Amino acid sequence: MSTATYTVSGMTCGHCVSSVTEEISEIAGVTDVSVDLPTGAVTVTSDGELSADAVRAAVQEAGYEVTSGA
């Protein structure tokens, strides 16, 4: 099991959180996504090592940007 935390900019509401969670959840191996809206922290838990590029791409697909993280 692996956990990584990213900071995502641009999220302002529950819909933003849902969009980011949905896109990241579609990555193979992801078992949990937890988003803290006030800080922009997104914690991703997966079965094994997860590509940071895959997470960045999923966040971009949702319309947001990873500003820091794994």
Torsion sign, CA atoms 62, 16, 51, 65: positive
Strand spans (E) along 1-70:
2-9, 30-36, 41-46, 65-69
**Under DSSP, is residue 41 helix (H, G, I), strand (E, B) or coil?**
strand
Least confident of 29-33, 35-39, 65-69: 65-69
| pLDDT for residue 69 is more than 80 | no
* pTM of the predicted protein model: 0.93
| Domain tally, the chain | 1
pLDDT in tens, 35-56: 999 999 999 999 998 999 999 9
Beta bridge partners of 2: 46
Identify the CATH number of the domain in which residue 46 sits: 3.30.70.100
Range of the domain at 19: 2-69
